[in-house]
Amino acid sequence: MTIENYFKTKYGNLSVSNDETQGSVKFIHASDIHLGAVQYSNEHRSNDFIQAFQEILELAIIHQVNFILLAGDIFTSLEMLPGKLTKIVKLLNEFIEFSNSLILIIAIEGNHDIRKFSRGVRFERRGQSWLKLLNSLGLIVLLDANLEAPPEDIFKPYNIKTKKGGKIQIKNVMIYGTRYLGEKPISLLSKIRKGITNNNGLFNILMQHFGIEGQMENVPGVKIEDIQHLRHRVNYLALGHFHKQYILQDWIYNPGSSEAVCSVDFSYKRGIFLVEVTKKSEKFTKLVKILHLINRRYIWETIKVDFEIRAKKDLEDYIIKRLHSYLKYLNHDIDPSNPHMPILYLILKGMEPSKSCKFNEKELRGKICNIFPIVDVKIYKKYKTPLKTLDNFILA
Ligand SMILES: [Mn+2]
């Protein structure tokens, strides 16, 4: 993962060139990479998110795309260790060098890019993000619009010198983008429509960070009927926000998160889109392919405790004995940085063990990771509440 000159070492024979004779435009659409996520405070798990980003950059080289779209939540919060950011900056520098600056990375801010939780308090000072830093270093193109301006000035062309703007044209594709507009962006979306030039002979992409209502249970989103007015001006709505992948009405695209940010994400269809846009006799056609990323493997196991255990050590021994039989198929000869080494979700069921069995979860996780080729364990206790015995009634 921290190999020097990663792209050169791996793809030295491949050269990225700007083939002007090619009539089509190719791009990758990814979102919700959540760089900086420290899942279960595990170092290997936190590297998985950078690894997923590296894989997106690799796929851009392999497929020789013209640009990469990152539709928000590229970072998981403003809290980021310098070592992690150094890795990301180094990766971007190497990518730019290897691709001869021919593959632009175009991004917008998501809700996570601007959020910081410090000692449980939300960080309120607006306007800062790691994406702004990467943009000022010239490593990415960060788009944002001025929604207070008259329609013709809402989206100014991105200026390479000032590093500001709300739209950028690459061949015959125009990409528009804004910052995160909140959970209810409806009124702002009609302003956005006015800022998008219609019938310009270009393929219009709009990048936004919001979800469509109904695509994820119990998660608020924008009603699909409320964005139909954009359809006449936008050929491809590049969304981010919901970690579950969906494609709607052949113009709304949400790739899902690149890695699983929480345990439920593992069950969602997720990945990135590889899109090819071709113009033939004044009409655009697009071909959208779903690419899957090599994510961290995961396994769920359930252990039922159906007899009375009185000592902590007995409970731990029992769990480890059961895991020996469940996990014997796992390969012990792989390194934890290898995403094939799984994360274990362990459910404990059955009778609730007595108070004397209360184990230190961190300690048990450590023990399990030492014995088995497991990168981390997350333990869920789903015990039955003990039945009231006749004695309880008498004492009560
Ligand atoms: Mn997200």
Question: Which tens digit of pLDDT belongs to each residue from 79-108?
Answer: 888 999 999 999 999 999 999 999 999 999
Per the domain annotation, does 165 fall within a domain?
yes
Domain boundary among the residues 272, 291, 310 is at 291
Percent of the chain surpassing pLDDT 90: 74
Number of domains making up the chain: 2
Residue 126 or residue 312, greater confidence: 312
Per the domain annotation, does 331 fall within a domain?
yes
381 CA → ligand 1 middle, Å: 27
Instruction: Give me the domain span that covers residue 354.
Output: 298-395
> What is the mean predicted confidence (pLDDT) over 325-346?
95
221 CA → ligand 1 middle, Å: 13
**What average pLDDT does the chain have?**
91
Is the per-residue pLDDT at 123 higher than 90?
A: no
CATH number at residue 72: 3.60.21.10
Domain boundary among the residues 256, 291, 326 is at 291
- Residue 27: its pLDDT value, please? 98
320 CA → ligand 1 middle, Å: 35
- Residue 66: its pLDDT value, please? 97
> What is the mean predicted confidence (pLDDT) over 210-222?
94
> What is the mean predicted confidence (pLDDT) over 24-38?
95
- Residue 50: its pLDDT value, please? 95
Q: Are residues 189 and 72 in the same domain?
A: yes
- Residue 124: its pLDDT value, please? 53
65 CA → ligand 1 middle, Å: 24
Q: Are residues 285 and 304 in the same domain?
A: no
Q: Are residues 48 and 142 in the same domain?
A: yes
Per the domain annotation, does 177 fall within a domain?
yes
- Residue 396: its pLDDT value, please? 41
Q: Are residues 280 and 332 in the same domain?
A: no
> What is the mean predicted confidence (pLDDT) over 215-240?
95
Per the domain annotation, does 119 fall within a domain?
yes
50 CA → ligand 1 middle, Å: 15
243 CA → ligand 1 middle, Å: 6
Which of 111-115, 117-121, 170-174 reaches the highest mean pLDDT? 170-174
Per the domain annotation, does 1 fall within a domain?
no
239 CA → ligand 1 middle, Å: 11
Structure confidence at residue 385 as a pLDDT band (50, 70, 90): confident
Residue 78 or residue 224, greater confidence: 224
Q: Are residues 216 and 72 in the same domain?
A: yes
Per the domain annotation, does 137 fall within a domain?
yes
Q: Are residues 242 and 310 in the same domain?
A: no
Q: Are residues 232 and 325 in the same domain?
A: no
Q: Are residues 145 and 56 in the same domain?
A: yes
Q: Are residues 82 and 228 in the same domain?
A: yes
Per the domain annotation, does 46 fall within a domain?
yes
pLDDT digits (tens, 9 = 90+) for 129-140: 999 999 999 999
Q: Are residues 302 and 287 in the same domain?
A: no
Is the per-residue pLDDT at 122 higher than 60?
A: no
Per the domain annotation, does 338 fall within a domain?
yes
> What is the mean predicted confidence (pLDDT) over 373-389?
84
240 CA → ligand 1 middle, Å: 7
Domain boundary among the residues 230, 257, 291 is at 291
- Residue 108: its pLDDT value, please? 98
370 CA → ligand 1 middle, Å: 32
Structure confidence at residue 208 as a pLDDT band (50, 70, 90): very high
pLDDT digits (tens, 9 = 90+) for 261-299: 988 898 999 999 999 999 988 899 999 999 999 999 999
93 CA → ligand 1 middle, Å: 25
CATH number at residue 314: 3.30.110
Residue 160 or residue 124, greater confidence: 160
Q: How many residues does the chain have?
A: 396
Q: Are residues 181 and 262 in the same domain?
A: yes
- pTM, two decimals, is 0.91
Q: Are residues 329 and 184 in the same domain?
A: no
> What is the mean predicted confidence (pLDDT) over 361-372?
94
> N- to C-terminal Cα distance for the chain?
61
- Residue 57: its pLDDT value, please? 97
379 CA → ligand 1 middle, Å: 24
149 CA → ligand 1 middle, Å: 29
290 CA → ligand 1 middle, Å: 19
